[in-house]
Structure 1
């Protein structure tokens, strides 16, 4: 289903994202975490599971202390192969391409090539980061060694507010072979609509077929999570931050706001024929926030069923 939806540039793609366990954990601990994750997601109405590849982002950490400490994670591809092969949906593996040599990335792309594979290529966290590969090079490599490989890119609508060129970055990545995009956690509806508008008119005026854009939603259940989201660079308007900070139930309020925000983006996009979807995650490891993210998947699926009968 995912492959067909990507090829047809359909709206309504729904995914769930997770971070692999910390690499310092024992094999038994990693297996225990995987079983808990599997129990949560195996019945979810999703098109794919996203497994994140995390980079340290040391430059950002130097400017502001990281609310949660960084520790290397288990490789997402190995983790998925070991524990989630039984899922009825494919895995989309994030790759921070800067830390891979061309040979290592090529080896991964070619592995198990008889099966459909999906990836999201992520670039450097800053211009100062030393990298082996950039996203454009990874895209060219993918097209050369595995033409049927499905890879996507990252979109940051909030960056569009400052630079006014995020839609051009996306268009260039489409020309490089990207077949879909995933945003960082979305709380700024105005920035997202501004990006979508420029994306739509640029593609329409230049005869470019738009690739699906999956807007990421992540519940916020505490002041600590809110602090972490801001450290990650997630744009949270002041009015919305106040709504969360002064709510008697921060988690419930964040779910209400996330549903409202995404429905507004969906209505805006459907009117213009922009294929948008949704990716849900929890940036926190707190059980209540993870459970809230699972509920949010079901809520968004219900929204798609109402707005997109064929979703």
Structure 2
């Protein structure tokens, strides 16, 4: 169970992340997309499904967005109304600052009733008017601490610039956060640096480190590489050149993603940091979706080979 694995700081957590269908999609089409998603993921060995809240971050940068922004359906509504047949816990993202304290409290009650788990994220731009701060949102959630877990975001790129991601994480841990999902990792050194500094900080304060779940995302085209950079994901120059060079971008990126997952596994195991992976699938191209499913299977098997996940138990027919 996802809840138990986080509370007991078990390594080998496996998540799969999706975005809801776009606003304006007919209910019939939404149901069709949901059924295809359920059929695709039902056989995957995952502990929970992440459903993202899609925000327009254009105000964050002056750079032109490579792809036009299209708003998506509310992730909680999509998960609760359409994904019930997928019998894994759902992790729902929500920008706390967009909502009043009452709205957040009501939302958390609904989440708890469905046995969903929240992750509060920041607002899409620094000058966005905030109705509820993250510390206030965590305080509202506290009433569920015994029967739930709450996660937060970890951004290796921010640590590279500000050198304080470990302190931000410790602050959120004091407010009840027990696991962190990273931004998509393409710079292995950045991710390792956060883990190393967090391990040192936790040891100095004599506290157990939280679970770190690394987001792994394949990219299927040179334009997707540009979009990832626009989102703030750092791709080392040589890797970017390799991905955009001759050959299949998707095939090359999958290879890189699997290598990153393998290296982070060894790195975290050597430092006794509980960890896992979130295989992100936010593309609509069939080839990219299939690649994400394949990566989830291969990373899950790698974790089983390390003794970090158990093989599913089957009951023989009489």
State the TM bucket, normalised to the shorter chain.
Answer: over 0.9
Q: CA RMSD in A?
A: 1.5
2:203 maps to which residue?
204
Deviations 1:281-303 (A, max 9, x none): 12322111111111110011011
**1-structure distance, mates of 2:170, 2:281:** 29
- Segments of 5+ residues of structure 2 without an aligned counterpart are 311-318
Q: Aligned partners of 1:309 and 1:180: how far apart in 2? A: 17
Tell me if the contact between 2:3 and 2:148 (Cα under 8 Å) persists in the aligned partners.
no
Structure 1 CA distance, aligned partners of 2:125 and 2:153?
A: 14
Report SS of the residue matched to 2:301: helix
**Off by >4 Å, runs of 4+ in structure 1:** none
Q: What residue number does 1:40 align with?
A: 40
2:235 and 2:281 map into 1 onto residues whose CA distance is 16
Q: 1:275 matched to which residue of 2?
A: 274
* 1:262 aligned counterpart, secondary structure: helix
Deviation at 1:310, TM superposition (A): 4.2
SS of the residue 2:16 aligns to = strand
Whether the 8 Å contact between 1:15 and 1:279 is mirrored in structure 2 is: yes
CA contact (8 A) 2:119 2:150 kept: yes
2:29 & 2:115 partners in 1: Cα distance?
A: 30
Evaluate the alpha carbon distance shift between residue 283 and residue 162 of structure 1 in structure 2; reply closer, same or farther with a 3 A threshold.
same
Report what 2:314 is aligned to.
none
Change (3 A) 1:192 1:59: same
Q: Does 1:307 align with 2:306?
A: yes
Instruction: Using the TM superposition, give the Cα deviation of residue 113 of structure 1 relative to its aligned residue in structure 2, in angstroms.
Output: 3.6
Are residues 1:252 and 2:248 paired? no
1:278-289 → structure 2 map (5 Å cutoff): 278-289=277-288
Aligned length: 310
CA spacing shift, 1:200–1:271, aligned 2, 3 Å: same
The equivalent of 1:226 in structure 2 is 225
**Distance in 1 separating the partners of 2:303 and 2:144:** 36
Q: Judging changes above 3 Å, is the alpha-carbon distance between structure 1 residues 145 and 281 closer, same or farther for their aligned structure 2 residues?
A: closer
- Corresponding residue for residue 313 of structure 2: none
User: Offset of 1:7 from its aligned partner?
Assistant: 0.8
8 Å contact from structure 1 (residues 213, 277) kept in 2: yes
CA distance in 2, matches of 1:107, 1:114: 11
1:50 and 1:210 map into 2 onto residues whose CA distance is 22
Tell me the residue number matched to 2:109: 110
TM-score, scaled to structure 2: 0.93
Residues 182-224 of structure 1 deviation map (CA, whole Å, 9 limit, x = unaligned):
0111000000111100000100111111111110001011012
Give unmatched runs, 5+ long, in structure 1.
Answer: none
Separation in 2, partners of 1:138, 1:45: 32
Choose 122-131 or 92-101, whichever is displaced more: 122-131
Query: Deviation string for 1:38-62 (max 9, x for gaps)?
Result: 121111110000001111113136x
TM-score with structure 1 setting the length:
0.95
Aligned to 1:159: 158
| 1:247/1:253 contact within 8 Å kept | no
Q: Is residue 2:244 matched to residue 1:242?
A: no
Aligned residues of 1:142 and 1:149 also touching (Cα < 8 A): no
Are the counterparts in 2 of residues 225 and 283 from structure 1 also a CA contact under 8 Å? no
- How far is the alpha carbon of 1:146 from its aligned partner? 6.1
The match for 2:52 is 52
Please give the secondary structure, in 1, of the residue aligned with 2:186.
Answer: coil
Distance in structure 2 (CA, Å) of the matches to 1:11 and 1:162: 28
- Note the 1:131-210 alignment, pairs <5 A: 131-144=130-143, 147-210=146-209
Q: Distance in 2 between matches of 1:38 and 1:75?
A: 18
Task: State whether residues 7 and 149 of structure 2, in contact with CA within 8 Å, keep that contact through their aligned partners in structure 1.
Answer: no
